[in-house]
Structure formats: C-alpha cells, structure tokens
C-alpha cells in the first residue's frame, strides 16, 4: 500500500527549497506519495512574528541557511527579488504583495495537476539557487513549469482565472497545517504526527520505515 504524507511548504522559505530534492528522491525510490499543500509564508500570514524576534534569531538564521545549503550541496543565494516585498522605510510587509500570492497559487495549481513536488523543485531552484536574477520577469517560471511536466500557458491561466478558489485552498491548507501540529514550513504531517523543518527529514523517513515503507520495483 502506498504511504501518504502531507507537505506544507512556502516559496519564501529557504528550508522549503532545501527539502524538496530529498522528497523527490524518496518518492522515486519508495512507494510513498505526498499531498502537496503550498501555504503563504509567515511574513504574509503573521508579519508580527518577526517583530518579536530577538536579533540573534535573524543573525543565526542567516548563518544557518548558507551553511545548510553548502552542507546539502545546493546552490543558494537570497532571492532577487525577495518573494515577499518589504517596505524598507517602515520595515513592514504591505498587505498588497507583487509576487507571493500568485506564486503560491501556481504551486497549488501544479499540485492539483499531479506535479506539485516537481514544480516546487523547479520553481524554488529558479528563486533560491542564485542562478537567476529577476526571477519573476521573462520566462523563468514558465521554463520551470515545462521542466516539471506542466503546460505553462494552462498553469498561468488557471492561476489567474481561479484566483479566488485557489486562495481559498491555500487558506484551508493553513488551517489544516495548524491542526496538524505546527505553523512553520516546511512541515510534513504523517499519520497525525508533525515533522517541522527540513532537518526532520531523516526522522520522517524513519517513521515511514516503521510503517512498512517499501522500495519501488526496479524498472
């Protein structure tokens, strides 16, 4: 029997970017399948979260993301532009955002077409790898969709024409995420147990093995 898990994931999270290659490798090697549920980042959902952090939280975070990417062998640079726009004059996140809402809708639409994990991998590499400047411009995301096995024209049309419905799906996922045990990303829920953070991947796989994780038959 195919084991199933839920993945709560954000396009603004470097750790979300870092976990996807391992999840793809896991699904290719074993009989397990994720339900992919993109959510809005904390800067959009609860921007006040960052106002109450000790300054050491941010300095350690910046050290850790570069170290972790190097440890995993992933190319990495903070995105240009940031998927979530900050008003530098006020150090606040405006409600109206130029990128993150549509980007998250694209992720949901890709998941609904059965290529969610693949799209997250390709799009997040465009955003986070440092290989692309001005990722929202031109055809960078369209090419990511093609690499993920999707039709970019159809995906874009769905993200725009079904904006309200897809937004509601995202909101539902955010409620489900908290009910599953955490508010942060990436967060995996398996059999009612939350695994928060890309550094919980090994524990997640260990739990899958306890529940009878089986290797896929060789092609």
List per-residue pLDDT tens for the chain, 219 residues long. 899 999 999 999 999 999 999 999 999 999 999 999 999 998 888 877 777 778 898 899 999 999 999 999 999 999 999 999 887 666 677 778 899 999 999 999 999 999 999 999 999 999 999 999 999 999 999 999 999 999 999 999 999 999 999 999 999 999 999 999 999 999 999 999 999 999 999 999 999 999 999 999 875
Residues 151 and 178 sit within 8 Å (Cβ to Cβ): no
- pLDDT confidence of residue 105: 98
Radius of gyration of the chain (CA): 17
- pLDDT confidence of residue 46: 80
Domains belonging to the chain, first-starting first, are: 3-210 (3.40.30.10)
Residue 87 carries which DSSP code?
B
Distance CA 64, CA 205 (A): 23
Q: What phi, psi does 119 have (nearest 5°)?
A: -70, -40
- pLDDT confidence of residue 218: 73
Name the pTM for this structure: 0.94
Distance CA 17, CA 72 (A): 11
- pLDDT confidence of residue 89: 67
- pLDDT confidence of residue 95: 79
Q: What is the pLDDT of residues 65-97, one digit of tens each?
A: 999 999 999 999 999 999 998 876 666 777 788
For 133, left (φ over 0), alpha (ψ -120 to 50), or beta?
beta
């Amino acid at each position: 029997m195919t084991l199933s898990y839920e993945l709560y994931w954000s396009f603004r999270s470097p750790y979300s970017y870092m976990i996807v290659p391992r999840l793809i490798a896991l699904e290719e090697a074993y009989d397990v399948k994720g339900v992919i549920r993109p959510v809005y980042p904390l800067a959009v959902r609860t921007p006040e979260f960052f106002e109450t952090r000790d300054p050491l939280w941010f300095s350690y975070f910046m050290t850790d993301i570069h170290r972790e990417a190097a440890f995993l062998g992933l190319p990495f640079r903070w995105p240009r532009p940031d998927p979530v726009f900050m008003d530098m004059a006020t150090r606040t996140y405006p409600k109206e955002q130029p990128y993150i809402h549509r980007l998250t809708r694209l992720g949901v639409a890709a998941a609904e077409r059965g290529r969610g994990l693949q799209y997250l991998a390709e799009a997040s590499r465009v955003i986070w790898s440092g290989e692309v400047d001005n990722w929202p411009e031109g055809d960078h995301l369209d090419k990511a969709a093609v690499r993920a096995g999707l039709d970019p024209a159809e995906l874009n049309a769905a993200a725009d024409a079904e904006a309200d419905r897809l937004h509601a799906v995202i909101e539902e996922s955010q409620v489900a995420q908290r009910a599953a045990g955490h508010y942060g990303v990436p967060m995996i829920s398996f059999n009612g147990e939350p695994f928060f953070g890309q550094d919980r991947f090994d524990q997640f796989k260990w739990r899958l093995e306890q529940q009878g994780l089986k290797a896929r038959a060789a092609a």
